[in-house]
Structures are given as structure tokens and as C-alpha cells.
Structure 1
Amino acid sequence: MAGRQSGRHRRPPEAQATYREVFAVGEFRALWLAQALSFVGDQLAQLALAVLVYSRTGSALLTALTYALTYLPPIVGGPVLSGLADLFPRRTVMIVCDVARAVLVALIAVAAPPFWALCAIVFLTVLLGAPFTAARAAILPDVLAGDRYVAGAAINNITHQATQMLGFVAGGAIVTLVGEYEALALDAATFGLSAVILAVGLRGRPAPKKRDDASLGLWRGTRDGARLVFGDPLLRSLVLFAWLCAFYVIPEGLAAPYAASFDDGPVTVGLLMSAMPTGMVLGAFLFSRFVRPTNRMRAMGWMAMLACAPLIVAGVHPPLWAIVALWALSGIGSAYQLAANAAFVAAVPAAGRAQAFGLAQSGILAGQGLGILAAGAVAQVLGPETAVALAGALGLSAAATLTLNWNQVRGEVIARMRGREPAPAPEPVPAADAEIAS
């Protein structure tokens, strides 16, 4: 009868984790607190270094060069050094990286090195972030299982974006109050405190891989990681979704010249720069709390297109309030990265997780840096509005292509999330759970 459904065909409701459940896990609290300290310290150090270099050299070029050093090391060394988190215990890797970074930043604060030495220390400090980030990303699925991982990733994303929104304002006040070197000393202290929190709050786990002469070849490990990710259609699709941010990050990089279209004031620049992170926080909260796990996978392609499509409107020169709203909407769409991250974790082997995450993260940073550089060149000739609109159009085309491919492979991820293999063909499937045809 139409009004009845056999119990054999019913599926249990999907388990959806809450933030309270996630924070109830002691190891996650340790990871989150260490990460929050790292984010705060990073914001403080970026401001302090910019002010310090400009006050000592009076050169905008050298100041920009110092800031660029925060992007270059992960691009160059990330895919290689990330493999350390597969060869050594991941907690140990994070603690050693934190202690080493604390010493390096403290050296700047105490010794006041010349500019060339300052650049070298900054390079090494940021380079050590690659194995730390890979180890943290790889250990999180061991700490949080199932949908708790997605909720935990959402909390981390919200924390990151919130520190971006508030960090520059608070960091500027701290640097003004205590001075550049003292602010760098505080940054060193955050690294040291993070190491203590991880040592006390995180359980030790053995290294995922056996260290032998062959596996210690990090370049070989990098090639193996690239072969793992790009040789698998599912992983390849997911990492390309992650790299799509190269298009929708461009408005942040062009916020200052874009503000010149209005009043060129610092308040307008800040408003534009905060629009997308605000949308990201809202999107991450809504997507993780109110969308079921399998529905996130189905919506991922549409959300990726939403991250790019609003930027196209910049080409018709809308007013400031509309630009802020559109960029915030783009930020909401970028919440698809939570689903991509969860699917990536489910699909990649645990032993190669850090290497795979390191490769994905390095590609993200490279795409963002090169994308902003190319957009800046376009903006110089055609204006920032046109550059943002072109980024949106190219990103939308790429997102649509990726969505078509994703619709062919997402069933495998959804089946894993439900804890079963895909149903045989004769098994009747309720209409509400039927896949959308590509």
C-alpha cells in the first residue's frame, strides 16, 4: 500500500554531531586550543613584522617581501616536509615544530637581527608550519570519528575566520601598546604554550609508516603522495575542489584597490576584507549544523558554484553594500570545503594522510598566491571590478566542470558514510534518497 513502507527499506536517521559532543572530547579541546593560540600568534606576528620592517627600512617593497615569505615556504617545502607526519608520531612532530618555532621567533625578539637574517628566520619559521599543519590535519580523524570530524573541522574553520576578522584590529592595538619586539615575544610564548598543551592533552600514537631507508626518502614520499592523490579519480576530484579557492579568494587580495572605487578609506578596506570571512563563519555553522552528512555531499557542487557566481556581479559596478553582501554570500558558498575535507579523509589511506593533506594544502597556497598575482596584473590594466568578475566567471566554469565529475563518484563516499556498500540494482530505493541524475 502507498501509505506503508517495509522496515527492510527504511534507513536509520543519519547521526549528526553537535558542537557540544565535539568539545566533550578532551583531545579535541587540546588540539583546538593549540590551534587557536597559533592563529592568534600568527596574526600578531604578521602585524608586528610588517610594522617592524617598514619602520626599520622605510621600504614598501621590503615590507611586501617579508609578508610574501609567509606564503612561499609551504609552497616550496610543504609537499616534502608534510611526509614527516607519516614517518614519525604526529604528536611528536607537532611538539617539535612548536618548540622550534618558539625559539626562532624569540631569537627575532631578543637579538633584533639584520634584515637578511630576519628574512631567513621568518622563512624557517613558516616552513616548520607545513609538517605541523599536516600532522594536525592527519591526527584529527583519529580524535574525532564520523560526523564529529565534520563538526570539529567546522569549529576549526570558524575559529580561523574569527581570528582573521578580529585579529588584525586586536593585534594592531597590542603592537601599539607593547611594541614590535614585545609582540613577537608574545608570539613565541604562544608557540611554547601550544607545545605544552599538546604534550599534556594529546595521547601518543605510533607513526603510521615504518621508517626504513626507502621510506625516509622524502622526495620519493612526495611522488608517492602525488601518485596516490592524482591516481584516484575520487581523491583527484576532491583536491581540485579544494584548489578552487584560488578563484574566490581574489576579492580579499584586491580589497584595497577595490575600495578606491568608493572612498579609498581604511574603514572601507576593512569592510571589504571582512565580508568573505564573515560569510565563511556563517556558512560553516549552517552547513555543519543543519545539513545532514550525505546531503552535504550532494550539495557540494552547488555550494562550490555559489562560492564563485556572486563575484561576477562586480562587472556591473554595484554599490558598496551590494558588494559586501555578494562577497559574504560567496563566503557562505565556500562552506562546501567542509564536505570536501570530510570526503577526502574518508577516502585517503591513514598511512598516507599527512602527505596527502600536505600536498593539498601546498596547492591551495600556491593557487591563492598565483591567483592574486594574476588578478593584480589584470586589475592594473582593466580595473579591480573587472578582475573580480573574471575570477568569478572562471571559477564558476571550473566549479561546474568539477560538479559534473563529482556527481559520477560521490555515491562511493555516501555509501561509506552510511556504513555499507552501494545497494544492488534490484533493491528498491525510496524516492527521497535517489541520486540526482547528472
Structure 2
Amino acid sequence: MLADVRPLRSPHFRRLWLANIITVVGAQLTVVAVPAQLYADTGSSAYVGLAGVFGLVPLVVFGLYGGALADVFDRRTMLIVTTVGLIVTSALFWAQAAAGNTNVWLLLCLFSVQQAFFAVNQPTRSAILPKIVDPLLLPAANSLNMTVTMAGAIAGPLVAGILIPFTGFAWLYLIDTLTLFATLGAVLRLPSLPVMDAATAVPGVRAVIDGFVYLRTQPVLMMSFVVDLIAMVFGMPRALFPEIAHVSFDGPDDGGLVFALLFAAIPAGAVIGGVFSGWVSRVRRQGLAVVICIVVWGVAMIGFGVAVALADRWTTAMLVVALAMLVVGGAADMASAAFRSSMLLSAADDAMRGRLQGVFIVVVAGGPRIADTLHGATAAAVGTAAAAAGGGVLVVIGVVVASLAVPSFVRYRVTRGS
């Protein structure tokens, strides 16, 4: 049941994975430092909210176009260029903070540039996995990667919260800059990774459109995006956590322990799921596995909403139940993502992998942001408990209906030797 570590036998994957352990904590320091610096400079949550817009737009644009680039140029070269770009932007974050900058627009523009490099880097990095890992081990490789990412999502904010009062923002950006060199070293040791049947011309908008046209002819791959959107848009309740922590569980209105626990619970579940992910490599019916995982996610969110509804009667007990439901949901989401990523990599043509990974990045980033808006509006009308539980119900109904509409997704199977 423990994590399948066979992908680490590949020296290229092992170096990238070990480097990511170092890099992901530094990246999370910047994730925390940017909104914290924005609020410290302005005292306005509106400016902090602008970071979402300045981050999402380049993530969508360059995620899609970066995937097209990754289907033409040598992917090792793409990784080198984008990793260097991330190092430079992180160093500029450090420079502006060390110089005492209070110009919000400079900080936001730097954040946009960083997200643009990230949006090109991630589809490329995912697209190389079938070249450096046995295809049958792709679920295990994706589980290992997600475990590290989610562990960083827990450790990074905690470390940043401790350091900021003592070191300020500049040191956090500097740590991020230095840790990125670990990834650069691993990328430089990769072999040349040309794309099979790659186009010869520099891709334009048409190449991005071709990716969507290809996706439309692949119902199994299309469904991998649809079910993820169903799970995230209807089922991700993170926008409700501040109000739930304060109103339902009597936490302070400016954060506090309950607030932190709610935000950490889903990543913690993903880490636990990753540690005990040895079973994922033995699953052949990956489409059915995704559907089951998303149903479990939906049921967990229903349980979370019910716990919130009962919090006024049994506050402590229901807090434990609510956190447990989020942990279960996080573990289910980790498994679902591992299978969906593997399906994208194994079922897609090599010349399309970059573009499909670009769409994957957009869906993964966009779904929760849409969920924030929907859950916030719904909670204002019916309350946080009903919004969370109702979202879970819609997840279960939505994924069942989608599975009935496209049965080939449920039947999708990985065979040995494929």
C-alpha cells in the first residue's frame, strides 16, 4: 500500500523529483509572500484579489500557447529557458523587496511574468514523463510528484508565516531564487528530448486550435477534463473556509488555528494519499477509478457540509469530522489527478502532449477559481453548510451523468505492455 517508488529508478526522474522537494518549498514561500506584501503595502484586500487576475490571465494564455511550443521545440531546451526565467523573476522579486519597493503595479507585473514562465514550464515538464518513465509507472510517477507538491503546500505557508515577522519578504524571495537552482541542475542533466512528428514551423494560434480539435476527437481525454471541472467547480469549498472558521467554529475573524487547519486539510489528505499510493500502479481500469475517486470527493464534501451544519450543537466533534472529510477528499483528489494525468500522457500522441498538458494546467488552475466565485455567491444566499453540501451532491450527480453520457471513459483500460 505504500507509495510505488519504482519511477525513482529512472535517474532523470529521480533527479527532477529530488530537486522538486527543494524547489517546491521555496515556490510556496513566494506564493505566500506576494499577497502578504500586497496587503502590507496597501492594506486593501481588493489589491490582493487583483493578484488572482494578474496570475490567471498569463496562466491561461501561456499555458495554452506554451503547450503548443512544447510540441515543436526540444523539451529539454524549453525547460532550461523557462527555469532560468523563473530564477530571474524570483531574483527580481527579491530585489524589489530588498529595495523597499511599495509600487503595487510593479509587484503585480512581476507576478504575471513569473506565472507566464510557470505556465510554459509545467506542461513541458509533464509532457516529458513518458520519455523518462515506464508508461505503466506513470500513475506512480504522478502520485510521487503530487505528494511533494502537496507537502510543499502545507510546509511552505507554515514556514512563511513564521519567517515573515522576523525576516520580512526579501528573504523569502531569496530562498525561492536559490532553491530553483536545484531544478535547473536536474534539467541540465536531461538528455535531448525532441518531439516525435513535431511541426517544423513556430506554432501560432492555429497550433493551439489544433490541440482543441484533436481533443474533440478523443472523448476519453475530453472527459478527463470534464470530470475534473465537475469536481472542482461544484465541490471545492475553500472560499467558505474563512467564514466557516469564524462563524461555525468560533475562530477569530482574522484567521487563527481553525482557519489554518481547514486550509491545510485537503493538501494533508493528498499527502497521505500519496504516501499510501502503492495501489495506483496496479489499477488498469483508470477511467472507472477516476469516477470512483470523484464520487468519494463529492461524498466527502457532503459530509463536510453536514458537519458544518451541526457545528453549533457539537462544535469540537464536528470540527474533527469536517477536517476528516476534507482529508478524505484530498486523498481522493490526489488519486483522481494521478490517474487523469497518466491517461493524458499515455493515450495522447507525443506531438499533442504539450498542448493537452497546457489545457490541463488551465483546467486545474481555473476550476477552483470558478468554484471560489460560485461558492461565495451561493453561501451568501443559502449559507455555508448548504453551499458545501449542495456542491458535493452536484459533484456526485454530475460525474454519474457524465459517465453515462460517455461510457468509453468508464471503460478506458490500460493493458500491460501498452
Q: When the two structures are superposed, what TM-score results if normalisation uses the length of structure 1?
A: 0.84
- In structure 1, what is the equivalent of residue 178 of structure 2? 189
The question of 1:278 aligning with 2:268 is answered yes
Q: Relative to structure 2, which stretch is displaced further, 26-35 or 291-300?
A: 291-300
Query: Residues of 2 paired with 1:190 and 1:221: CA distance?
Result: 34
Equivalent of residue 241 in structure 1, options 224, 227, 234: 227
Once the two structures are superposed, the pairs formed by residues 72-91 of structure 1 within 5 Å of their partners are: 72-91=57-76
Once the two structures are superposed, the pairs formed by residues 112-131 of structure 1 within 5 Å of their partners are: 112=99, 113=101, 114-131=103-120
- In structure 2, what is the equivalent of residue 206 of structure 1? 194
- Structure 1 runs of 4+ off > 6 angstroms? none
Could you tell me which amino acid in structure 2 is paired with residue 378 of structure 1?
A: T
**Relative contact order (alpha carbons < 8 A, sep ≥ 6): 1 or 2 greater?**
2
Unmatched tracts of structure 1, length 5 or more: 1-15, 421-438
In structure 2, the CA distance between the partners of 1:329 and 1:364, relative to structure 1 (3 Å rule), is same
- In structure 2, what is the equivalent of residue 329 of structure 1? 328
Q: Relative to structure 2, which stretch is displaced further, 246-255 or 185-194?
A: 246-255
Query: Residues of 2 paired with 1:295 and 1:286: CA distance?
Result: 19
Aligned 8 A contact 2:13 2:132 in 1: yes
Q: How far is 1:363 from its partner?
A: 1.9
The question of 1:97 aligning with 2:95 is answered no
Query: Residues of 2 paired with 1:166 and 1:245: CA distance?
Result: 25
What is the aligned residue count? 400
The question of 1:153 aligning with 2:142 is answered yes
Cα-Cα RMSD: 2.4
Aligned 8 A contact 1:47 1:175 in 2: no
Unmatched tracts of structure 2, length 5 or more: 311-317
In structure 2, the CA distance between the partners of 1:189 and 1:232, relative to structure 1 (3 Å rule), is same
The Cα offsets for residues 284-320 of structure 1, whole Å up to 9 and x where unpaired, read as 3434436722155443312211111222231471321
- In structure 2, what is the equivalent of residue 293 of structure 1? 283
Query: Residues of 2 paired with 1:151 and 1:280: CA distance?
Result: 14
The Cα offsets for residues 60-110 of structure 1, whole Å up to 9 and x where unpaired, read as 221232355333321233112221111111111111111112112212322
Equivalent of residue 263 in structure 1, options 250, 263, 273: 250
Aligned 8 A contact 1:89 1:208 in 2: no
Aligned 8 A contact 1:86 1:209 in 2: no
The question of 1:173 aligning with 2:162 is answered yes
The Cα offsets for residues 105-147 of structure 1, whole Å up to 9 and x where unpaired, read as 2123224452212211110111111110001100011111133
Query: Residues of 2 paired with 1:132 and 1:177: CA distance?
Result: 32
Aligned 8 A contact 1:282 1:332 in 2: yes
The question of 1:222 aligning with 2:208 is answered yes
- In structure 1, what is the equivalent of residue 48 of structure 2? 63
- In structure 2, what is the equivalent of residue 231 of structure 1? 217
Q: How far is 1:407 from its partner?
A: 4.1
Aligned 8 A contact 2:301 2:391 in 1: yes
Aligned to 1:294, what secondary structure does the other structure show?
A: coil
- In structure 1, what is the equivalent of residue 415 of structure 2? 417
Could you tell me which amino acid in structure 1 is paired with residue 182 of structure 2?
A: L
Query: Residues of 2 paired with 1:245 and 1:369: CA distance?
Result: 13
The Cα offsets for residues 134-176 of structure 1, whole Å up to 9 and x where unpaired, read as 0110001111113322111111111111111222111222333
Once the two structures are superposed, the pairs formed by residues 382-393 of structure 1 within 5 Å of their partners are: 382-393=382-393
Equivalent of residue 236 in structure 2, options 236, 244, 250: 250
Aligned 8 A contact 2:269 2:331 in 1: yes
Identity rate of aligned residues, in percent? Answer: 23
- In structure 1, what is the equivalent of residue 368 of structure 2? 368
Q: How far is 1:406 from its partner?
A: 5.4
Query: Residues of 1 paired with 2:89 and 2:126: CA distance?
Result: 23
Q: How far is 1:374 from its partner?
A: 1.4
Aligned 8 A contact 1:88 1:208 in 2: no
Query: Residues of 2 paired with 1:60 and 1:175: CA distance?
Result: 19
In structure 2, the CA distance between the partners of 1:159 and 1:18, relative to structure 1 (3 Å rule), is closer
Aligned 8 A contact 1:315 1:385 in 2: yes
Aligned 8 A contact 1:301 1:406 in 2: no
Could you tell me which amino acid in structure 2 is paired with residue 372 of structure 1?
A: D
